Amino acid sequence: MRKEITSISCAVLFSCAYLWAGQALRTTLNVAPAGIAGHITVDEVVGRKLQSNPVSKLKLYVLRVEDSQPLQDLQQRCRRAVAQPKADPLRAYNTCAQSLAEALALVPKLPSVASTETDREGLYRFENLPAAGRYQVVGVKEVLGAEPLVIVGITNKLKAGERVTLHLSANDPWTRATVAH
């Protein structure tokens, strides 16, 4: 009987030690963080010549795709309004304009992984992002006398240590996310 109790006690002790060692190993392994960088521009025709200008001082947020569902719902609402075959153009425009205004107010309130602002050259960089996630990079800016600016890009699932480039344009529809490469 004593041998059985001793055997069971040893088995439990070794099991606990094994589990503790495994947990300690997992917590001490460093997973290299990921990063996203890019350039944001707007294309304009000036004197019959197309030029690409940087978008400076644009507030950017990195959102986990699963946390950005309310934004995706607004994008979908606008796409549906425009896609209806017999859509009233004014009603579709108003639906999209309302969704755009709501997106401008919504994005800063969503849980973000990181935020930054583009520099005067329209460049941005996010470092130390947790790997193994898909992210949306969303830029928002109120524009005096015009529609607000909402720019959306998306990454594939980031791997440990991966750095992706995501160039965005203010000319791309806000309802379609540009995919990083």
DSSP the chain: -HHHHHHHHHHHHHHHHHHHHHHHHHHHSPPPPEEEEEEEEEEEEETTEEEEEE--S-EEEEEEGGGGHHHHHHHHHHHHHHH-TT--HHHHHHHHHHHHHHHHHHGGGS--SEEEE--TTSEEEEEEEPSS--EEEEEEE--TTSPPEEEEEE--PPPTT-EEE--EETTS-TTSPEEP-
Q: Which amino acid type is present at position 147?
A: E
Percentage of residues in the chain having pLDDT higher than 90: 61
Higher per-residue pLDDT: 78 or 87 = 78
pTM of the predicted structure, to 2 decimals: 0.78
Residues in the chain: 181
| Reported confidence tier of residue 121, pLDDT bands at 50, 70, 90 | very high
Name which of 1-10, 28-37, 102-111, 125-134 the model is least confident about. Answer: 1-10
Residue 41 CB coordination number (10 Å): 19
132: left (phi over 0), alpha (psi -120 to 50) or beta: left
Tokens of 154: 């998306």
Taking residues 66-86, what's their average pLDDT?
Answer: 92
